[in-house]
Structure 1
Amino acid sequence: MNILIIGSGGREHTLAWKMAQSELLSTLYVAPGNAGTASFAVNVPISVNDFQNIKELVTTKDISLVVVGPEDPLVNGIHDFFLQDEALKDIPVIGPQKAGAILEGSKEFAKDFMDRHQIPTAAYKSFTANELEQGYAFLETLQPPYVLKADGLAAGKGVLILPDLEEAKTELKNMLVDAKFGQASNKVVIEEFLSGIELSVFVLTDGKNYLTLPTAKDYKRIGEGDTGLNTGGMGAISPVPFADDVFMQKVEDRIIKPTIDGFVKDNIPYKGFVFIGLIKVSEEPFVIEYNVRMGDPETEVVIPRIKNDLVSLFKAVGNGTLDTVTLELDERSATTVVGVSGGYPEAYENGKVITGLDTIEGSVVFHAGTQLRDQEVVSAGGRVLAVTSYGEDFREALKTTYKNLEKISFQGMYYRKDIGFDLENQ
């Protein structure tokens, strides 16, 4: 079968790498793809939100399965677009319809969903520009630090955690009145701060049945020791050592099952991944957020640990038979560390030639922001590549990853050397 993956980052390269191993696959297309996917798939220069040209590609290339990587086209309704088109309606799309994608598209919707289905999360209220004074009053009822979240999509940058009440009030005004995050902060969710250690749990569902994928922990801050600005992710490890069987049973019973049951009760059609951002407070799990796709760079450690044929898993999602599948996992740990452009997450330059990719041993390099230029691989984004390795534990895997990262070079390249630093005593 011919398959299309939509997206261009490390997540999409990892999905493509895994799907390319399937005997069910004929030709794999990636739109728009990157220099990494070009080595075993056909890259097609189509934007992820260009639904009409995606339709033309799907129909002319006889594509029979579409996997949507990023959140944007999902929130914009690409799955609905397929269902409403006579030529496309029978082609399975992995990724929820708009009614499910709003779980990521609106923080308020997600919090209300959790409240409705008794899923543990931080106390919260949401406010618009007309309710600024009420927002100030709610902040005054909370203990610092203060958490402000833009309601809409803000490319992972719409969350502020502030230590000072006056600063929180100023930023609330900046978001609501001065549109700090554009339309994404037309509404702002204020919630209580939960103190604990974070992790991510991923679920693949056909809307009724589900498989719980490996746990992962990613590292968002640019600086070592989790300091500095937030990024799209500087590294990840899987499994998470502190997520033992007892804790994961709580996650299953209190969060995963009520979430999938909630889709059924609320009549939300959902075929695809659910990313559940969790925080462990003492020994109890709370939901920080939902995303409606795989995370990046968590994908680069979760997908390599799945032994099943990924195409057959996606076929089961499409035809609603995920309950017939048993998930098989590699028991080894996997780690990934991201090499980023100098200056990221602020201003950075593209077009830097990347060397050393052909010298890697014992790791897989997943491309995130890369392009081919005159047969050379060059940087084309803030996060450029991720080096993934296996090991008996995350420490052993990290040694291999770092050894290989030292062989890769491009002007201004930076990576954190302390991924996993907070797990030593877990």
Structure 2
Amino acid sequence: MRILILGSGGREHAFAWKINQSNHCTRLFVAPGNSGTSTIAENINISITDFEAIKSLVIDQNIDMVIVGPEDPLVLGIHDFFLNDPQLKNVAVIGPEKAAAQLEGSKEFAKAFMMRHNIPTAAYQAFHKNNIEEGYAFLETLKPPYVLKADGLAAGKGVLILNELSEAKSELKKMLLDAKFGEASSKVVIEEFLDGIELSCFVLTDGENYKILPTAKDYKRIGEGDTGLNTGGMGAVSPVPFANNILMQKVEERIVKPTVEGLKKDNLPYKGFIFIGLINVRNEPKVIEYNVRMGDPETEVVLPRLKNDLVEIFQAIHQQTLDEISIEIDSRAATTVMLVSGGYPEAYEKGKEIKGIDDVEDSILFHAGANLVDGKVLTTGGRVMAITSYGDTYKEAIKKSYQSISKLCFDKMYFRKDIGFDL
């Protein structure tokens, strides 16, 4: 099979790394890709939302399967674009159709879906600029901290958790009236704060059947001890030590099954990954959010633990035969630590040379915001590289990741030194 991966981050490098191990893959393309994917696939410099350019590439290269990494093309309807085009309709697309992608594209849509299908989640209300006064009044009925979420896509940064009522009202005004997150915050969901510990559950579905992948926990805040601004993710651990059989049975019965059944009942065609962001509140799981693709950097710890041929799984999703696949998981733990540019998630400089890559032996380096320029690997983004390691325990794995990081450097390199601290 000739396969195309859309995206340029660590998640897409991890997909390429895993797919490259499959005997079913005869040629692999990544658009636009990065310095990591360039060593195992052919990078094609086109935009992930330029559907016509993607069509030309798929036809020119006789591509059989397209794996959509990020959420933007899915929310914009790339799967529908393929289905509605006579030249593309037989190409396997891994990712939901546009209507189902609203689970990530709109926080309010996702909350209404959960309420409709009795999936446990936090109480909420949604507001826009015309009823901002009602938003202020709703905040007054809640206990701190206050949770404000931009309704639309905000690159993982559209959630604010605030301790002061006055600050919450001020931020609501900035989001609705001053477009703090652009169009994404033209509507804001305010919800009750759930106190617990977070984890991520990853589900594969072909629209009829589902399989649950290994759990993971990521660390969103820039600062140690989970402080500071939200990022796209600073590291991840898999499996999650507290996600025991009892908790995961509750997750499957109360959340995974009703989600897959709800998609069918609501006629929301879905072939791909469902990322369920969970919070464990006194051993009772509740949903924080849905994503309609794999998480990043969770992919960099989940895929290394998957023993199956990933292409065979994707073929089963396309053919709706996922029930015939048995998922095999590596018993070892996997951890990843993200190296980021100094200043991220705010302003940061690009074009810094990354040194020491060839010196790392005990970890897998998944490139993210990095590209190959004149034989040198240079930084191009905020999150630069994920350093993934295996271990018999997560503590052993995390130690290896940090040992590998000591061999790497670039100007103003930053990383959290406490990944896994709360486990």
Residue 238 (structure 2) aligns with:
238
Per-residue CA deviations over 1:260-280 (Å, capped at 9, x if unaligned) read 000110010000000000000
Q: CA deviation at 1:46?
A: 0.5
- Distance in 2 (CA, whole Å) between partners of 1:168 and 1:245 is 38
Per-residue CA deviations over 1:60-112 (Å, capped at 9, x if unaligned) read 10100000000001001110100110000011100111011000000000000
Q: CA deviation at 1:403?
A: 0.5
| 1:350 partner amino acid | K
- Length, aligned pairs only: 423
Between 42-51 and 158-167, report the one with greater CA deviation. 158-167
Q: CA deviation at 1:178?
A: 1.3
| 1:35 partner amino acid | S
Q: CA deviation at 1:239?
A: 0.1
| 2:300 partner amino acid | E
Q: CA deviation at 1:136?
A: 1.1
Q: CA deviation at 1:114?
A: 0.1
Q: CA deviation at 1:179?
A: 1.1
Q: TM-score, normalised by structure 2?
A: 0.99
- Distance in 1 (CA, whole Å) between partners of 2:90 and 2:398 is 43
Per-residue CA deviations over 1:379-410 (Å, capped at 9, x if unaligned) read 11000001100000100001111111100111
- Distance in 2 (CA, whole Å) between partners of 1:135 and 1:152 is 17
Residue 155 (structure 1) aligns with:
155
Q: CA deviation at 1:362?
A: 1.6
Task: Please show how residues 45-124 of structure 1 align to structure 2 within 5 Å.
Answer: 45-124=45-124
Residue 13 (structure 1) aligns with:
13
Q: CA deviation at 1:174?
A: 1.2
Per-residue CA deviations over 1:4-30 (Å, capped at 9, x if unaligned) read 000000000000000000000100000
Residue 263 (structure 2) aligns with:
263
Residue 383 (structure 2) aligns with:
383
Q: CA deviation at 1:323?
A: 0.4
Name the SS for the 2:422 alignment partner.
helix
Cα RMSD (Å) of the superposition? Answer: 0.6
Q: Which runs of 5+ in 1 are unaligned?
A: none
Residue 273 (structure 2) aligns with:
273
| 1:205 partner amino acid | T
Q: CA deviation at 1:345?
A: 0.8
Residue 39 (structure 2) aligns with:
39
Matched-pair identity in %: 68
Q: Which runs of 5+ in 2 are unaligned?
A: none
Name the SS for the 1:34 alignment partner.
coil
Q: CA deviation at 1:37?
A: 0.2
Q: CA deviation at 1:205?
A: 0.5
Residue 400 (structure 1) aligns with:
400
Q: CA deviation at 1:170?
A: 1.2
- Distance in 2 (CA, whole Å) between partners of 1:232 and 1:14 is 16
Q: Does residue 130 of the first structure (1) align with residue 109 of the second (2)? A: no
Residue 253 (structure 1) aligns with:
253
Residue 179 (structure 1) aligns with:
179
Task: Please show how residues 316-331 of structure 1 align to structure 2 within 5 Å.
Answer: 316-331=316-331
Name the SS for the 2:295 alignment partner.
coil
| 1:14 partner amino acid | A
Per-residue CA deviations over 1:24-61 (Å, capped at 9, x if unaligned) read 01000000000000001000000100100100000010
| 2:349 partner amino acid | E
| 2:92 partner amino acid | P
Runs of 4+ more than 2 Å apart:
none
- Distance in 2 (CA, whole Å) between partners of 1:119 and 1:171 is 29
- Distance in 1 (CA, whole Å) between partners of 2:366 and 2:188 is 35
Q: CA deviation at 1:242?
A: 0.3
Q: CA deviation at 1:207?
A: 0.7
Q: CA deviation at 1:2?
A: 0.4
Task: Please show how residues 205-354 of structure 1 align to structure 2 within 5 Å.
Answer: 205-354=205-354
| 2:346 partner amino acid | E
Per-residue CA deviations over 1:211-270 (Å, capped at 9, x if unaligned) read 100000001111111111111111000000000000000000000000000011001000
- Distance in 2 (CA, whole Å) between partners of 1:284 and 1:179 is 35
| 2:70 partner amino acid | P
Name the SS for the 1:167 alignment partner.
helix
- Distance in 1 (CA, whole Å) between partners of 2:325 and 2:306 is 13
| 1:288 partner amino acid | I
